[in-house]
Structure 1
Amino acid sequence: MKTTLLILASTTLVSQLASAIPPLPPEGKRWVRNEKFSDEFNGTELDSSKWFDHHPNWTGRPPGIFLASQVSLGDGFMKIQSKKLEEKMTVRGVDYDIAGGAVVSKTTDAHFGYYECRFKAAATTMSTTFWLSTRKQYPVPGSEGDKFGQELDIQECIGREGDFKGKYFASGMNSNGHFWYNPKGGETQDLRATEAKVKTEKLASEAFNTYGGWWKDARTASFYLNDGEPKDMVFYDKILDEPFPHPMGLNMVSETYPFPWIELPGKEELNDPERNTCYYDWVRSYILVDADAPTPEGVELVPLYEEEIDLSDAFDSHEPVKNIIIPFSYKANQDRNIELQIRDSEGKVIGESNFKALTGYANTSKTIELKDAPKSGSYTVTATLSALDSDDAKPLASDEIKTLKLGK
């Protein structure tokens, strides 16, 4: 049987991490951008191939109504502006006197993956939100007519505090997983996942923040505020063992919350342009593919990362073996070349590998076969990321293990 050695190495970062990145992917996987649910909002009009400027099957929670007139693009942002209506609007017998807005994906096939959005909340009690949901109900397998829907709230917030129960929604990250259970002949039940909230002192309207959600599978998700430590969630599973199996649509919405839980916004704040607008800088979505699998069609090569390569961050002593597994991660804005080398104490290259690194953020490994049977001692491992098919030898990024010990 062929013997291999797993190298875990200490690293020195060459550069700072980008301002927003997905979590480290699972071993052997790579994050690639899912363009259907991504937008940098750098134009002057909403991309109508991706987004509705309203919600296709929801008018809004009274007294707030979604109006396309409140959605705009400019200065690199997608904006939703609230206002107090001069005259009430009545839709299907329901009265509305506050205008909000909704930007909603046209497709509803967002499935397992990472979804993140950078935004600054309006400084009112209107919501600023980022979430996924189904737009229809699905039958509960094995039941006699029961149905269910899914809702994954990555961030729900308001922009100011006050004397009301829900004032905590003005800060931090408030994530929820709703299993909407509709038993035949009964009322819909909101069966919620385990709580996953991140508390902060700063209001959501004071600065831009990045809110990310990793929908891992039909049972679990994790949430990240500004790329911090994850908050994990387990979906309610007393009805179905896998309660979140279906794809969903993506939503960015400013709405009114139910009074008296959240105080309704007053006319002064609703009509104040310094307070009444939420700003969405971008939304980005990613799917996991095998690290060496071809990049799926439709992946736009938008520079998302500060490109880097990182060897693993610990190492140990091992018996000398000829085939050495080197684990590493990299971030690349386009296909790149990676070179891995192992050198002895005299600087002689005793093993190396050159290969193409595909676009994205990958966590993978390569096996290097040494030229000669290794002896006990200290070795150096280097990794470089460089332009593909280029005569320029200068690396874009590099990392090095100062000492790899073989033998006791």
Structure 2
Amino acid sequence: MTPSLRVAVVGAGAFGGWTALHLRRAGALVTLLDAWGPGNSRASSGGETRVIRAIYGPTRTYVEMAARALTLWREWDRTIREQFYRPTGVLWMTSADDSYVRQSLPFLRELGLEFERIDPSAAARRWPQISFDGIASVCFEHEGGYLAARLACDAVARELVRIGGTYRQAAVASIGANRGRPDVRLSDGSRLDADRFVFACGPWLGRLFPDVIGARVRATRQEVFYFGAPAGDDRFVESHLPVWVDIGERFVYGIPGNLYRGFKIADDTRGPEFDPTGGDRTPSPDLGRAMRAFVDRRFPALRGAPLVGAEVCQYENSPDGHFIIDRHPAMPDVWIAGGGSGHGFKMGPALGEMLARQVREDASPDPFFALARLENTRVDF
């Protein structure tokens, strides 16, 4: 890469922001754009917090990427002198089939990531605020925790500008091709010029690239609820309770304290299709009641706790749940990064490092993330 390589990165979320920062650190001239701003409320990277964990079933690629991301998040906190990574640990509770957890443990062991298998009765003594009724298997992942999501997106963009990059709040109106070169027009009528482009636009990728992406990335409506602990009760803040995951009939997770906003809980099950630009973000009473019933059962001391907050966000799902990181087949100077599928935020530093290297070196994409794998995949979700 020559020092004069100009790269435009569209989308200032976890994928785009970190890619832009890694590119700038390597000497590229970088412009980062976002239609509404880093970590905005419409973005898949918006919201207060995200879980970071390395347990990923049998998928070693993600375990390795999560391990690298953990290292980079620690380095980031030291560099910025703020704490975005909160190492509470992640408590995995499974009611029957624990294969998702069990299949990752050899990878964690090889990578030096600490974990414990705990008998449910011992776990109940260690975390008495949790009811382990119906739980057959417990595993504690020591280096997991949560991340300050929205604040991190803003901090990454600010750091980019501090070291000589450019940030613009602007929307892409159209992308055309002229002899294999992209012709990118912004909503103000101007043309976006660069040698290479990275589009990390989350749920909007399908609209910008209807032929290449189209329905291969779809947004689903996801809801998050915050319950309030009794006054003065510190059993449900991160000093006394880790991030937790409950795998039973559904995949439910929670973040204690959640930067003091409340006891966060969400159902990871994919919701209905959703319009990320203008969709109604009013939480649904039915899911709120279901989450309250879950809290009453699993955390008895919070029975009847008031709902102190709720929000609607979205996942931007690929058909197989894996990220999409590839070149545009007709415009080799265009890279596409998306399909976070509800688990991408924590990977931002590692994914951005990888993608920035591929863009700088004009390298081939990793086949695991390439578009070719989706050629014969149904996209009806």
TM normalised by structure 1 equals: 0.24
User: Which structure carries more helix by proportion?
Assistant: 2
User: Which structure carries more strand by proportion?
Assistant: 1
Rg larger for: 1
